[in-house]
Amino acid sequence: MDDLLEQVIHGLTLGSMYALVAAGLALMFGVVRLINFAHGDFFMLGAYVFWWGFRELALPYPVAAAIAVAGMAGFGLAYQRTVVRAVLGRSWHVQLIATLATSIVLTNGAIIVMGTQPKEVPTRLSSAILDIGGFRIAGQRVLVLAASLVVFAALHWFVTRTKTGKAMRAMSQNREACAVVGVDVQRIALVTFGLSAALAAAAAALVTPLFNIFPDVGALLTLKAFAAVIVGGFGYVNGAIVASLLIGLAEALAAGYVSYAYKDAFAYLIMIAVLLWRPQGLFGRRIGI
């Protein structure tokens, strides 16, 4: 029973990481209709910035995390102003290839600069084992789960209560109408990208003490985030979050009870299964034509 609970916690931790990344991806697609194949690399870059701040500069954990989040938010803005603006409005082929190419550049750039050796970022919490009601759990995992909840609550508040957030939701439903009504479409797009990248960086700062960082992690994560976004229904942030948790759970349980080697395949298999059964995703709606 303990073993199962441990796997479930592990799965939820994994799922929270996926959820933070997938939420950003869903936001990008929802608000500006961009398929961002470079999204996982935001996580990867955020992880390396965090590592640099924490290990190389010996900054305290929260400071390093803040730097990573702020840095990636800036990167997200820069990304929107350069690559995204050049391909927005073009065919989705162009968008896909452009963002895929960006991902290749980022991933291999990281290989050149940082090397392929995985980096570790052990923090006090990652080695600390907390005892909660007789059940032992790594402190870092508690942090991941708690922080993710806080982040998602904040995100929900932002999207439903603030002017910018509401504008984002409006844009995801009808972009042309927003432009007509006077919503600053450009600014909202910028905010969306900054926010999405920041979410990925937050995931990185939370999770890298538990796992290693290596340049290829971006590509793997992009695919899993896509799986979550597709399963949840394209553009539905809440759907992506729920789907991510499901995928994380499935992956952990499969790794623990079925086969560790094939664990990565499970996210894709789930995605394929959902696509076969409900092509519009669990929460998406089917539109005619």
Partner 1 sequence: MALLEVRGLVKRFLGVTAVDRVDLVVESGDLVSLIGPNGSGKTTLFNCMTGYLRADAGRVLFRGRDVTGAAPHRVARLGIARTFQQVSVFPRLTALENLLVFLQQHQEESIVGRLLRLPRVRRLEAVAEQRARALLHRVGLAAHAGAPAGTLSYGQRKLLAFAAAVMPDPDLLLLDEPAAAVNPTMINHMKEQILALNRQGKTVLLVEHNMEVVMDISRRVVVLDHGQKIAEGPPAAIRRDPRVIEAYFGR
Partner 2 sequence: MARLGGWVLAGSVLGAMPWIVAAAAPGQQRYVLHILVFTALSGALALSYDLVVGHVGSLSLAHPAFFGIGAYAAALLATEAGWPFTGGLAAGMAAAGLAALLVGVPAFRLAEHSFAVGTLGFALVTQIVVTNWVEFTRGPLCVTGIPRPVFAILPGTRVRIESLAAYYWLSLAALGLVVALYRGLTTFRLGRAFHAVRDNEPLAAAAGISPLRYRMLAFVVAAALAGGVGALYAHYVTVLCPEELTIALTVNLLVIVFLGGVGSLRGVLLGAVLFTALPEILRVAPAWRLVIYGLLLLAFVIRAPEGLDALLRRRPGPAARR
Residues near partner 2 (CB under 8 A) are: 35, 83, 86-87, 92-94, 96-98, 100-105, 107-109, 111-112, 219, 223, 226-227, 230, 234, 261-262, 264-265, 268-269, 271-272, 275-276, 279, 289
Position 134 contacts partner 1 (CB under 8 A): no
CB of 288 to partner 1, least distance (A): 4
Nearest CB to partner 2, comparing residues 61 and 226:
226
Nearest CB to partner 1, comparing residues 62 and 288:
288
Q: Are 136 and 130 a contacting pair, CB within 8 Å?
A: yes
Retrieve residue 94's tokens.
């162009």
Crossing angle for the helix pair 263-277 and 217-232, to the nearest 10 degrees: 30
CB of 287 to partner 1, least distance (A): 9
Q: H or E segment at 10?
A: helix 2-32
CB of 102 to partner 2, least distance (A): 6
- Residue 149 exposed, middle or buried by CB count within 10 Å (0-12, 13-18, 19+): exposed
Nearest CB to partner 1, comparing residues 163 and 285:
285
Residue 5, contacted partner among partner 1, partner 2, none, CB below 5-8 A by kind:
none
DSSP string, 53-65: IIIIS---HHHHH
Q: Fill in the DSSP letter of residue 84.
A: I
Nearest CB to partner 2, comparing residues 47 and 98:
98
Nearest CB to partner 1, comparing residues 58 and 289:
289
Residue 275, contacted partner among partner 2, partner 1, none, CB below 5-8 A by kind:
partner 2
Residue 264, contacted partner among partner 2, partner 1, none, CB below 5-8 A by kind:
partner 2
User: In angstroms, how far is CA 26 from the centroid of its own chain?
Assistant: 9
User: In angstroms, rounded to a whole number, what is the distance separating the alpha carbons of residues 246 and 252?
Assistant: 10
5-11: long-range contacts, CB 8 A cutoff, minimum separation 24: 5/135, 6/137, 7/252, 7/253, 7/256, 7/257, 8/249, 8/252, 8/253, 9/137, 9/141, 9/145, 10/141, 10/252, 10/256, 11/245, 11/248, 11/249, 11/250, 11/251, 11/252, 11/253
CB of 280 to partner 2, least distance (A): 8
Residue 177, contacted partner among partner 1, partner 2, none, CB below 5-8 A by kind:
none
**Phi/psi of residue 138, nearest 5 degrees:** -60, 135
Nearest CB to partner 1, comparing residues 161 and 286:
286
* Interface characters, 270-289, with partner 1 (x: CB under 8 A): ---------------x--xx
Q: Are 123 and 189 a contacting pair, CB within 8 Å?
A: no
CB of 173 to partner 1, least distance (A): 12
- CB neighbourhood size of 176 (10 A): 9
User: In angstroms, rounded to a whole number, what is the distance separating the alpha carbons of residues 67 and 240?
Assistant: 26
Residue 288, contacted partner among partner 1, partner 2, none, CB below 5-8 A by kind:
partner 1
Which stretches of the chain bind partner 1, using CB under 8 A?
285, 288-289
